[in-house]
């Protein structure tokens, strides 16, 4: 899953003057956030979020990264337990 963050604050074109887009910009100006987090916080649809992110990317205003895997609830023993039970390790 990808996460997104602003590299600079943009001047928004008229179609993006709604509060939902300002909320997304605010979130992305502080930290990396996923598409789902943007949709949940702003109330915008996933399609609206995707088109907004594409517009920002096309303008060179967006940084992207692959989200880190959440830590195991079992801590370090979780990796050992997974390997012992399934014979595979969790990819990182």
* Residue 91 maps to a domain: no
Residue 60 DSSP one-character state: T
pTM over 0.85: no
The parent domain of residue 34 ranges over: 2-86
Q: Is residue 92 part of a domain?
A: no
CATH code: domain of residue 60? 1.10.10.10
Per residue in 25-67, pLDDT tens? 999 999 999 999 999 999 999 999 999 999 999 999 999 999 8
The CA-to-CA distance between both ends of the chain, in Å, stands at: 12
DSSP-assigned beta bridge partners for residue 6: 62
Number of compact structural domains in the chain: 1
| Percent of residues in the chain assigned helix, strand, coil, to nearest 5 | 50, 15, 35
* Strand ranges for 32-85 from DSSP E: 33-34, 62-66
């Amino acid at each position: 899953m990808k996460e997104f963050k602003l590299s600079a604050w943009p001047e928004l074109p008229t179609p993006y003057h709604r509060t939902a887009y300002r909320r997304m910009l605010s979130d992305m100006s502080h930290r990396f956030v996923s598409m789902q987090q943007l949709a949940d916080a702003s109330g915008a649809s996933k399609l609206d979020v995707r088109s907004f992110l594409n517009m920002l990317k096309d303008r060179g205003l967006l940084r992207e990264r692959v989200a880190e895997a959440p830590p195991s609830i079992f801590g370090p023993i979780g990796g050992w337990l997974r390997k012992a039970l399934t014979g595979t390790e969790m990819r990182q």
